[in-house]
Amino acid sequence: MKPSVLALIPIKADMHADLKRRALELAGRMPAANLGLDLVTVFDWRRLPKDPADSTPWSKVTRVRNTLLDCFKLSAFTHVLWIDADLVEYPADLPTRLLQTNPHGVSSCPVFIEDREEQFYDTAGYVGLDDKHWAVFAPHHEDVPGNEIVEVSCVGCLYTVPTPVYVAGARHTDHPTNTDHWSVCQAARRMGRTVTVDMRLRALHANLPKYGEAWH
């Protein structure tokens, strides 16, 4: 039986046109490159109203993710794949390769910055097993030479989650220093599932100032 993957891509309505176009192009490559999967890709274009209870810069994103999850019968899928809409490159067969890397846990790849490919992005999302952020994440993870698969505490930007983690009640929640991905990764780890980064893969995040946005 094929793994069934629900790819969720929250996207801002006011995102730069070039980034919207690229997000659609990247998602459009995936079906032909992942024939071993049943893949459903969903873009979320809604503008959620501001909630007075939002207390961190991540709050609205957190609500968007949870609202998306609640729109689907998650038990109908084996995995959820999160893709940040402002990524500008990742392998077309990434879902297949992530599931091959860590089919029973949370699986991700390193994310670098467009035009600054030596610079790691999302240091608040990717957290080492020592629970310290990686301020620098070298393309070949020089801190652990020879390791292709690195176990971590948390990932962000682009990753798969086995749906039993969500069915058991995990949801994205705000965190004072980490991102909303933290709560889901910790729920997976409590279930005995590992959180890993496949260093053989790579993705590129938009260099946001190029598109008139501040870093977030």
For residue 65, the domain's CATH number is 3.90.550.10
**Predicted pLDDT of residue 47:** 60
Residue 78 resides in a domain = yes
Residue 78's nearest CA partner among 27, 2, 9, 182 is 2
Share of the chain above pLDDT 70, in %: 83
Residue 104 resides in a domain = yes
User: Is the pLDDT reported for residue 121 higher than 80?
Assistant: no
The rounded distance, in Å, linking the Cα atoms of 57 and 200 is 32
Ranges 5-19, 54-68, 187-201: which has the least confidence = 54-68
Across 8-18, average pLDDT: 88
The rounded distance, in Å, linking the Cα atoms of 9 and 64 is 10
- What does DSSP say about strands 106-108 and 158-162: parallel, antiparallel, or unpaired? antiparallel
Instruction: Choose between 6 and 58: higher pLDDT.
Output: 6
The confidence band for 139, taking pLDDT boundaries of 50, 70 and 90, is very low
- The CA-atom distances, in angstroms, between 115 and each of 47, 120, 170, 182, 206 are 30, 12, 35, 28, 9
| CB contact at 8 A, 127 and 182 | yes
The confidence band for 166, taking pLDDT boundaries of 50, 70 and 90, is very high
User: Is the pLDDT reported for residue 211 higher than 50?
Assistant: yes
- Per the structure, the count of domains in the chain is 1
The confidence band for 54, taking pLDDT boundaries of 50, 70 and 90, is low
pLDDT per residue over 76-95, tens digit each?
A: 999 999 999 999 999 999 99
Helix/strand/coil for 215: coil
Domain that holds residue 200: 4-211
Residue 216 resides in a domain = no
User: Is the pLDDT reported for residue 136 higher than 50?
Assistant: no
